[in-house]
Amino acid sequence: MKFAIVNKPSSSVSELVAKIRTEAKKRGFIEDQNEPEVVFSIGGDGTLLRAVRFGKPIVAFKAGRRSFLADVEPDKVEDCLDRLKNSEYLIEDYSMLNVNGYDFFNDFAIMANNGKTITINISSGEIEVEFEGDGVVISTQQGSTGWSLSALGPYLGRGVDATVITLLNPILAPVRSYVVNNYPIVARVKPIFHTGQARTFVDGNIIGTVDEDTEILINRSNKRAKILRFYNERRKLTWTK
């Protein structure tokens, strides 16, 4: 089996990266960063986002402070690789969303520019919301543990096939977050109390700006992410340093 490595860009994980590479090759795995069959993500959830871009099954080794989706502890490297070689794992399948040609695993956001508020209209099925605030985050099920949650959005458990829409610092809005499963989700920045452009982000990376009254469509992506699970353990959300 051919593997690629995506690791946290930190010297703190170099020893673990070397160990995984060595132990994998001992078991007959071949490193191939261009055409892998499986990707070893070594870090936290940010590293896993980079691994998703390969479009291949992921083994998520935990080596970061925020590792809700990464579940293989450093002391289980050898056991995990043995299980991988013997196909002793479950596959967790994750839905992704697409916004104007960009696939995203966690979230898409529209943010006000230059510290000003913006007015955003969002519709999904029979629900339409219009509010003034700092922006909006639209999250997948797995993305609900990230930016959306920090803005007081709900956590969606595994198996909940839905999308979270979380308003960022809304003014006079009776709700901060709600859950939908109708697509497309249509977002539009309104020319009210706002001039210029708003910034747009996919999985934490800025992808550009959007002009007033430009229609943004969020749909289900044809792509799905697959994470290989070797241990049936409870995952823990933590908010400590």
Residues with catalytic roles = 45
* CA-closest candidate to residue 145, choices 49, 41, 7: 49
Q: Where in the chain is the domain with CATH 3.40.50.10330?
A: 2-88
CA dist., res. 70 & res. 73, Å (int): 8
Residue with the bigger pLDDT between 44 and 26: it is 26
Residue 211 three-state SS: coil
**Residue 71's pLDDT is what?**
87
Which CATH number describes the domain made up of 2-88? Answer: 3.40.50.10330
Q: What is the pTM of this model?
A: 0.88
- Residues contacting residue 150 through CB under 8 Å, at least 6 positions apart: none
Q: Does domain 97-221 have CATH number 2.70.98.10?
A: no
Q: Where in the chain is the domain with CATH 2.60.200.30?
A: 97-221
Task: Encode pLDDT of 71-114 as tens digits.
Answer: 899 999 999 999 999 999 999 999 999 999 999 999 999 999 87
Task: Map tokens 């956590």 to a residue.
Answer: 155
E strand spans, 32-148: 38-43, 58-62, 90-99, 102-104, 107-111, 118-124, 127-133, 135-139
